A and B are shown apart, each in its own frame.
Chain A
Amino acid sequence: GQNIDQPTEMTATEGAIVQINCTYQTSGFNGLFWYQQHAGEAPTFLSYNVLDGLEEKGRFSSFLSRSKGYSYLLLKELQMKDSASYLCAVRGGSARQLTFGSGTQLTVLP
């Protein structure tokens, strides 16, 4: 089976750095994705990791450790518009679909 855990809520201050953790237990592994979802809107793709290490894309970075079943999403120079739910998702071994965590609701305060 698949199990993905991430914190339910986080709060941070504008301009700060925040790290959102995700741990997973899956039967097989074929990549980990991070999505951002604003209330009432579609999830939008942020990052993809399949090999261990850090992937950097502007203010957002994502890290993966396959041996630990662990990933994090790092958001730098936080802006108010970054307030959203951040979804960790794993593509299992033979499955084509993504299995999502429950999401982390990030609130950025002024």
Chain B
Amino acid sequence: NAGVMQNPRHLVRRRGQEARLRCSPMKGHSHVYWYRQLPEEGLKFMVYLQKENIIDESGMPKERFSAEFPKEGPSILRIQQVVRGDSAAYFCASSLSGTGTTEAFFGQGTRLTVV
């Protein structure tokens, strides 16, 4: 049973380009969470999705950032017109349900560098 798979592991983009980060949750998991981690800082919540629905996007910047979790395929975090401040590690986590003792399992992360 493969864990949470994120790709790419490392992504380099020039300012103004688009970044697409992919996350395939653990088998059977329908809840996906995206977090951003800046160097020497904790994980900051961005968005919570279930299949085809955005449940909570309160942590996501209003502009340039979007996320989706289609019926088929991985969840995608999309950053348009990237800026240097977008450089960070982006982690995806999945869980079986969204409540109770259900722990979230994290992927290895995508390290985005904007040059």
Same complex for A and B? Answer yes
Which residues of A come within 8 Å of B, CB atoms? 30-31, 33, 35, 41-45, 48, 50, 87, 89, 95-103
CB <8 Å contact, B103 and A96: no
CB <8 Å contact, B43 and A100: yes
- Chain A neighbourhood of B4, CB < 8 A: 42
CB <8 Å contact, A99 and B45: yes
- Complex Cα spacing A102 to B43, Å: 7
CB <8 Å contact, A97 and B33: yes
Knowing A98-B45, A103-B42, the reply to whether A42 touches B106 (Cβ < 8 A) is yes
Given A96-B48, A103-B42, 11 additional A-B pairs, CB 8 A: A31-B101, A35-B106, A41-B108, A42-B109, A45-B103, A45-B105, A48-B103, A96-B31, A99-B45, A101-B42, A102-B41
Cβ distance A69 to chain B, nearest Cβ, rounded Å? 17
CB <8 Å contact, B48 and A97: yes
Say whether B44 faces chain A, with CB atoms less than 8 Å apart: yes
**CB closest residue in chain B, given A99:** B45
CB <8 Å contact, B42 and A96: no
- Chain A neighbourhood of B45, CB < 8 A: 97-100
- Complex Cα spacing A38 to B42, Å: 13
* B residues 94-113 in Cβ contact with A at 8 Å: 98-101, 103-109
Say whether B55 faces chain A, with CB atoms less than 8 Å apart: yes
- Chain A neighbourhood of B109, CB < 8 A: 42
In order of increasing CB-CB distance, the 9 nearest A-B pairs are A96-B98, A102-B42, A42-B106, A100-B43, A100-B42, A45-B103, A97-B45, A43-B106, A97-B48
